[in-house]
Structure 1
Amino acid sequence: MIRPVVYGADYSAYVRIVRLVLEEKGIGYELVPVDIFAADGIPSWYFDHQPFGRMPAFEHDGFRLHETSAITRYVDEAFDGPALQPIEPRPRARMNQIIGMLDAYAYRAMVWDV
């Protein structure tokens, strides 16, 4: 199996989410460190992986994605292992609602203020 590649900093909450999903699925992966806050700025090559210069970015067998929710859903659906999302529409919608709320309203308090 071709190992996925995760691009980003190990301190990033969003990179950690992707790594946690890969671990839960039992998938080996490579982490390519990218520090978007480096003194020299974002490496120019990184924009080929993430056009907005944010973290994380992901690649699997030539398929590239960015945005944590897209990456995690892809990993859950594309790889063997335990299902990480509810199958039924209502519980899945509730899961997406909670993820959206945390991302939109709680991120700053949970990450920057702690």
Structure 2
Amino acid sequence: MGLMDWSEGCVRNIPLSCKDKSTDGVIKFSGLKVPDTTHTWVNKSIILKECKAKCLSNCSCMAYTNSDISGQGSGCVIWFGDLIDIRAFPTFGQDLFIRMQHSELGDVQKVIN
């Protein structure tokens, strides 16, 4: 597959709920090249826990991660809209927390409430 071939991907089985935000959670995926940053918001001064809260409180948020991955990580990047151009980089990749409906997660242990 070519580097610019984006024909494969994932589609949500169940849409996110903006009426009852408590039905949404996040799944941590590790070892990734983060998505295209065209539709993002960045704040270098907040921690990941605050980043998660901001994401789950905004219906348009699809994913988040640290903006600085050195050391323990810091800052916040939030993605709005489609997540495009995610790649697996097991050696140098970073964590990406993708917002999902709890009902889509089953018994996945990576769920972070």
- TM-score, normalising length from structure 2? 0.25
Structure richer in strand, relative to its length: 2
Higher helix share: 1
TM-score (norm: length of structure 1)? 0.24
| Structure with larger RCO (C-alpha < 8 A, sep 6+) | 2
